[in-house]
Amino acid sequence: MSIIEAQNLAKSYRVYRKGEGLRESIRGLFHREYEEVHAVRGIDLKVETGEFVAFLGPNGAGKTTTLKLLSGVIDPTGGTATVMGYVPWQRKNAYRRRFALVMGQKNQLWWDLPAQESFRLQQQIYGIPVEQFRATLDELTDLLEVRPLLKQPVRELSLGERMKMELIAALLHSPDVLFLDEPTIGLDVIAQHNIQQFLRYYQEKRKITILLTSHYMKDVAALCKRVVVIARGQIQYDGSLAGIIDKFSGYKIITVQFPENHHVETGNLGELLSETWPKVKLRVERAEVPRTLSRLLSEHPIEDVAVEDPPLEDVIAELFRESSDRAAAEPAPA
């Protein structure tokens, strides 16, 4: 059995829609109008033990809602799910001791106390033996290089330092499953890289199962081999990182370097993306790549040529845009 299984998992909210102005406010006291918002619509998902899976989607796609369902923070309105054999929303203590949830926009540490005080509280909550607690804390603080900061109030730490402390708090009880919701949001490039390095090392060493949501494609490319794309509350893609480019990108990028004194009309070769003579970058439909290369090599002197897939960010953005356009074209619910 997979460590995480979800079948037709769904979550809807009944949202009050308030009209504008005093008249509508008074009317709302006696007659309220509600709208059904479908945050998650029939998610089917299986994750095997030890996988590091990226969960991608635009804002409002249902990523965080899915993590909250799988961690038991909220109850579903339909479908089933199990994590390590437990039904998350039953909130059994045995389950709570085996997973952790880290949300980049939420704090689990006491703001005015040093992080080490929050860690001791975690020790008591999870009943971690003293020797195990000290050994785990020493390992995590050394890996994340935050030992000098343990006695400093959390509110005085930088965003990157706070996120490291949040990860330590989540991993003190050695969970088997880790849910990460935007762990690098707002961090600078160096802090992002440090978090990525730590997560890669820790996951490979402990073989824990991690489900990650992130808007930073560098997080995904650095950490995950499998990608699940969700849009409008439904899974649009589930597969490898390379496969997502093959499936959703209809073009490739050809970079050509000509001799300095050679002039070329590139308009009939493809869409011109950039031109820093003698180097030219073209966007070419996949089906036209062989013909375009053949023409370039036979009709022009070439010093260098490269064919590349488009950046992952561009492919994902296009996928999200198409999903939004389809949603906009659908009739509004009654």
pLDDT tens, 234-284?
888 899 888 888 877 888 899 999 888 877 777 778 888 888 888 889 999
Rounded CA-CA distance 10/23 in Å is: 36
Q: Dihedral of the CA atoms 138, 142, 143, 147 (nearest 10)?
A: 100
What's the CA angle centered on 56, arms 239 and 12, to 5 degrees? 110
Burial 239-264 (b: 16+ CB within 10 A, else e): eeeeebbeebbebbbbebebeeeeeb
User: Over pLDDT 70: what percentage of the chain?
Assistant: 96
Domain spanning 4-246, CATH class: alpha beta
Position 324 scores a pLDDT of 65
Higher pLDDT, 15 or 71: 71
- Give the torsion sign (CA, 112, 116, 119, 120): negative
Pick the CATH number of 250-308 from 1.10.10, 3.90.1200, 3.30.70, 3.40.50: 3.30.70
Position 316 scores a pLDDT of 82
Cβ neighbour number for residue 39 with a 10 Å cutoff = 21
Rounded CA-CA distance 59/37 in Å is: 14
Rounded CA-CA distance 117/119 in Å is: 5
Q: How many residues does the chain have?
A: 334
> pLDDT band at 330, cuts 50/70/90?
low
Ordered by start, the domain boundaries in the chain are: 4-246, 250-308
The pTM assigned to this predicted structure is 0.83
Cβ neighbour number for residue 104 with a 10 Å cutoff = 20
Task: Choose the weakest-confidence range: 48-52, 99-103, 313-317.
Answer: 313-317
